[in-house]
Amino acid sequence: MLRGFYTAAAGMTAQQRRQEALSNNITNALTPGYKQDQSTLRAFPEMMMQRIEGNTPSRIQNKNIPMNARMGAINTGVYMQEAVPDFSQGSLKETGIDTDLALVNDRLPDETGALFFTVQQQNGEQGYTRNGNFTVDSEGMLVTNDGNYVLDQEGNPIFTDGLDFNVTSEGNLQVQDQTIPLGIAYSPDANDLVKQGSGIFQLAEDGQAPINAREQGIDYKIQQGYLENSNVDSNQAMTDMMQAYRLFETNQRVVKAYDQSLDKAVNEIARLR
């Protein structure tokens, strides 16, 4: 009985974490370049159940040795293993603002690969983002809305001196008589990157560092005056949230039924008369 109690409780916990991931997706449905998280549910490792004293005990030196008869496998419920970002391309929205840049995938060599703008985070570490909603700060530097420096191909912050600039489809920023190649990074396996908040990804400790997309000949396009929308399907996310809520309620009723059964077993059946 207790095993079923904990199995249902594990199901409630998994659906609660799934609802949290879906809520975060819906909250960021209008965030440029946001990549939705996909929850992966998995059963706990199975345990092999055995029954002692089978039908045919073995005999060793005139002694009966009980045999272990296999009864089958059993697991102890389900859990949410992880939330994996979906790096599929979002639709484009025209803004007409010169500092807005959309990074468009063309043909990527790896199914799990993804392209990113490179930025310098406020802690000095390099980060990666798909949110091209940039601006120019008071010092004339091209930055994200959170104040992270946008980097060029050499890993240096981009100085525009507050002047108007154009960006070619190849990713070259042209200001006055200067041409500055934007830093476009390509990760062959985007799952090596972890979310840091505000649309910034950072390399995991054991991950493979992204490479320079331009040097590797990766096909992409930059569209100035556009932003990439999030790839969240709000209708599907709401449907999934309702499903997770109903599954949570179902497991909750199972937990309540086990609780009532335990109450009777302890307070009624086991009562001394």
Q: pLDDT tier at 256 (50, 70, 90 boundaries)?
A: confident
pTM confidence score: 0.79
Lowest mean pLDDT of 2-11, 186-195, 227-236, name the range. 2-11
Q: Which two tokens stand for residue 81?
A: 């293993």
Residue-level pLDDT at 30: 93
pLDDT (tens digit, 9 = 90+) per residue, 88-132?
999 999 999 999 999 998 888 888 899 999 999 988 899 999 999
Q: Which two tokens stand for residue 172?
A: 């070259």
Residue-level pLDDT at 59: 52
Residue-level pLDDT at 183: 95
Helix (H, G, I), strand (E, B) or coil at 113: coil
DSSP letter for each residue of 62-83: TEEE--EEEEEEE---EEEEEE
Contact indicator for 171, 179 with CB cutoff of 8 Å: no
Sign (positive or negative) of CA dihedral 76, 77, 81, 86: positive
Distance set, CA 84 to CA 41, 80, 211, 233 (Å)? 11, 11, 21, 16
Residue-level pLDDT at 83: 85
Checking if the pLDDT of 66 tops 70, the result is: no
Checking if the pLDDT of 62 tops 80, the result is: no
Average pLDDT, the chain: 86
Query: What's the N-to-C CA distance of the chain in angstroms?
Result: 25
| b/e sequence 181-191, b meaning 16+ C-beta within 10 Å | bbbbbbbbebe
pLDDT (tens digit, 9 = 90+) per residue, 167-223?
999 999 999 889 999 999 999 999 899 998 889 999 988 888 999 998 888 999 999
Sheet of 166-167, strand order: 166-167, 172-175, 178-181
* CA–CA gap between residue 179 and residue 182 (Å, rounded): 10
